[in-house]
Structure 1
Amino acid sequence: MPQLNPNPWFFIMLASWLTYSMIIQPKLLSFVFMNPPISKTQTTPTTSPWTWPWT
């Protein structure tokens, strides 16, 4: 069965991963986001208990 022979497919997989990690990944990581997240102070909402009309 030729698909079990890892000889040509291992080189293709290795070449594609090297291409991804050396060329494509640094280009993707160099993008600057237009709206960076802003660190806001955490505010807790004020809640009041619900008044049930039948109690």
Structure 2
Amino acid sequence: MPQLNPTPWLAILVFTWLVFLIIIPTKVMAHAYPNEPTTQSTEKPKKEAWTWSWY
């Protein structure tokens, strides 16, 4: 019963986790977004009172 032999499956598991932990994060972090978000100012805009022409 070759399914119970852990030798090839352990190597496959280790190499798979190495790919997930080393190769994939570096490729994801190297991705450049074309539109970088800009920070908004923390100042609140001044509110001006409305002038009603009929009041």
TM-score by length of 1: 0.48
TM-score by length of 2: 0.48
Structure possessing the higher radius of gyration over alpha carbons? 2
